Copies of this chain bind each other. A is one copy, B any other.
């Protein structure tokens, strides 16, 4: 009669699996062994976990040579994880290394397929302040600017996904740009070299070029990422 949320919640409820899912929120497919290493369990245990996540429809698997790559099953799954993060307590920072990583992630990270963190929030603010985006729709001006950046707006429109929804950012407690448009913009920024993926799963770094470009295009006074490190 109802949708049975308990089984899905149980999949997320295990710390090892939660760590894996969180890593997959980076948007890229990761090999089973890497997920084992990240979550700190043996390959055997990780394999068992991944089989459950697969069975539960939270991840998809792709075989490639002797590796098996896993990725999130879709943006709906990513949204569930992000929403859940919004009502979860932050884990207290213990080590110096963690604190550095936390600062990096708060600065800029991916939220599955779009930009999040301070950079993501600033991007959305800038698009609004500059009149690119109004009431969840692109203005003519916004359409032109994004086209110049190489954003495939038409493709984003064709997607069945919501076009430009707000996505609540759990570090900033404010909204960043999500949905089909958020993904398209982020893709373009990566292609332009303004953003590059960091080492840890969800990390994103704004390049020097990107900092200038973002400031010029979106008037987000981008806090100096490099200076912080």
**Cα distance A88–B1 when bound, in Å?**
12
**Are the C-beta atoms of A22 and B9 separated by less than 8 Å?**
no
A 1-17 contacts with B by CB, 8 A: 1-10, 12-15, 17
Rounded to whole angstroms, the CA-CA distance of A12 and B6 in the bound complex is 6
Interface centre among A12, A77, A135 (most CB of B within 10 A): A12
Determine how many copies of this chain the complex contains: 2
Q: How far is the CB of A146 from chain B (nearest CB, A)?
A: 17
Q: Which of A91-99, A148-156, A183-191 contacts B (4 or more CB under 8 A)?
A: A91-99
Within 8 A of B (CB), among A35-63: 57-58
Does A69 belong to the interface (CB within 8 Å)? Answer: no
Q: A87-B57, A87-B76, A135-B135 are in contact. Are A81 and B6 (CB under 8 A)?
A: no
Contact A102 B1 (CB under 8 A): yes
Query: Does A224 have its Cβ within 8 Å of any Cβ on chain B?
Result: no
Q: Which residues of B contact A8 (CB under 8 A)?
A: 84, 87-88
Q: Which B residues are CB-close (under 8 A) to A136?
A: 135-136
Interface assignment of A144: CB less than 8 Å from any CB of chain B: no
Instruction: Give A89's nearest chain B residue, CB to CB.
Output: B4
Q: Is the CB of A80 within 8 A of B77?
A: no
Bound-complex Cα distance A3 to B85 (A): 5
Q: Which residues of B contact A98 (CB under 8 A)?
A: 1
Residues of B within 8 A of A77 (CB): 87
Residues of B within 8 A of A2 (CB): 22, 85, 90-91, 102, 105
CB distance from A182 to the nearest CB of B (A): 15
* Pair B84/A1 contact, Cβ less than 8 Å: no
Contact status B83-A3, CB under 8 Å? no
Any chain B CB within 8 A of the CB of A86?
yes
Is A162's beta carbon under 8 Å from chain B? yes
0/1 string, A153-173, CB within 8 A of B gives 1: 000000000100110001000
Could you write out 15 A-B pairs with CB less than 8 Å apart? A1-B91, A1-B99, A1-B102, A1-B105, A2-B105, A3-B86, A4-B91, A5-B21, A5-B81, A5-B88, A8-B84, A9-B10, A12-B13, A80-B84, A83-B83
